[in-house]
């Protein structure tokens, strides 16, 4: 396994069964129709790893997969996109999670999880598996395996001791629920946190992006990115930087994974030495491009595509 990685993504890997245009009116006693159905690999860590790799970073993933066809599908996608898979754990005991996602015409979606999403593997037991990279992305904080304060604390402390940049994407809880207070001792170790608007509202109790960011900052997190969906994104940090970017002009098809693409895009540009504002513009474009096709890792192809997209957006403004 390579030891010179730029980014290691840790967290969920799964298969998404994506149903678009579901018609709730039955056509028979047990039959329904939809415009389309497809299988796509997903999970925050997978989406972020594939995106970072496409953007030119040497990227690895630490996740757990079952020894099943869904796990094979995830592995094939990772390998095809140049992600280092030597850290992947395969288990006979725990199946690969499969999520059913219903996508509306405007690209918004809802999902159904199951018991396989609860499995907490233990990345903290061997820090050498994730500390040999310039940055780690936790995908995602508050979901397995990062819904256990001991696992979270151990991973964050090991990463910080190794001098890594720590990016924590977030999710709403689906089984075990944690609050910011439950993690107050280790939250200051996080360099960047990237909740969406719903997640930020849930964890902070606030409704305005700047107020949400201020709550996260009060817990010692250094930089806050709040993903606002159709309203763009918001950045604020402890040094006084504050930016709000509008959404890119795009025809959205499926918003699945847009936030993961944004988090990965931001991290790659920070590692390239970009300013926070430059990195946020690039990341915002990554998220927008993601929404133009079904599946979280379908639309974005490479860094050149994103730069060209940004150029076109500027020309249209």
* Per-residue pLDDT tens over the stretch 9-24: 999 899 989 898 888 8
According to the model, what pLDDT value does residue 175 have? 86
Q: Is the pLDDT of residue 76 over 60?
A: yes
Residue pLDDT, tens place only, 262-272: 999 999 999 99
According to the model, what pLDDT value does residue 264 have? 98
CA neighbor of 262 nearest in space, from 242, 275, 247 = 247
Higher pLDDT, 301 or 29: 301
Strand order, beta sheet including 223-227: 59-62, 5-11, 133-141, 165-170, 192-194, 223-227, 233-237, 242-245
According to the model, what pLDDT value does residue 2 have? 41
Residue 316: pLDDT band (50, 70, 90) is: confident
* Burial 224-235, CB ≥16 within 10 A → b, else e: bbbbbbeebbbb
Residue pLDDT, tens place only, 116-172: 878 889 999 999 999 999 999 999 899 999 999 999 999 999 999 999 999 999 999
CB 228 within 8 A of CB 200: no
According to the model, what pLDDT value does residue 61 have? 98
- The lowest-confidence range among 43-57, 61-75, 242-256 is 242-256
Q: Could you tell me the domains of the chain? A: 5-23+34-103+115-308 (3.40.1190.20)
Q: Is the pLDDT of residue 303 over 90?
A: yes
Residue pLDDT, tens place only, 202-245: 999 999 999 999 999 999 999 999 999 889 999 999 999 999 99
Higher pLDDT, 30 or 150: 150
Question: How far from 244 is each of 3, 225, 227, 250, CA to CA, in Å?
Answer: 37, 10, 10, 18
């Amino acid at each position: 396994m390579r030891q010179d990685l730029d980014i290691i993504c840790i967290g969920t890997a799964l298969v998404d069964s994506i149903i678009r245009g579901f018609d709730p009116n039955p056509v028979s006693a047990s039959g329904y129709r939809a415009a389309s159905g497809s299988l796509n690999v997903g999970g925050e860590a997978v989406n972020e790893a594939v995106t970072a790799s496409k953007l030119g970073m040497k990227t690895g993933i630490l996740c757990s997969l079952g020894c099943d066809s869904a796990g094979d599908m995830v592995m094939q996608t990772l390998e095809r996109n140049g992600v280092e898979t030597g850290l992947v754990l395969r288990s006979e005991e725990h199946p690969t999670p499969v999520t059913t996602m219903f996508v509306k015409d405007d690209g918004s979606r809802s999902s159904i999880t199951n018991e396989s999403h609860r499995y907490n593997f233990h990345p903290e037991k061997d820090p050498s598996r994730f500390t040999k990279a310039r940055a780690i992305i936790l995908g995602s904080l508050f979901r397995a395996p990062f819904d256990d304060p001991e696992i979270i604390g151990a991973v964050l402390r090991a990463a910080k001791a190794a001098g890594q940049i720590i990016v924590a994407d977030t999710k709403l809880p689906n089984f075990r629920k944690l609050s910011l207070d439950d993690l107050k001792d280790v939250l200051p170790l996080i360099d960047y946190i990237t909740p969406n608007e719903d997640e930020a509202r849930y964890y902070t109790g606030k409704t305005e992006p700047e107020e949400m960011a201020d709550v996260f900052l009060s817990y010692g997190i250094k930089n806050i990115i709040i993903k606002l969906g159709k309203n763009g994104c918001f950045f604020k940090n402890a040094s006084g930087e504050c930016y709000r970017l509008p959404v890119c002009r795009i025809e959205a098809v499926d918003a699945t994974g847009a936030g993961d693409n944004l988090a990965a895009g931001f991290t790659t540009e920070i590692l390239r030495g970009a300013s926070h504002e430059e990195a946020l513009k690039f990341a915002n474009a990554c998220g927008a491009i993601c929404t133009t096709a079904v599946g979280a890792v379908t639309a974005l192809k490479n860094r050149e595509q994103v730069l060209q997209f940004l150029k076109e957006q500027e020309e249209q403004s």
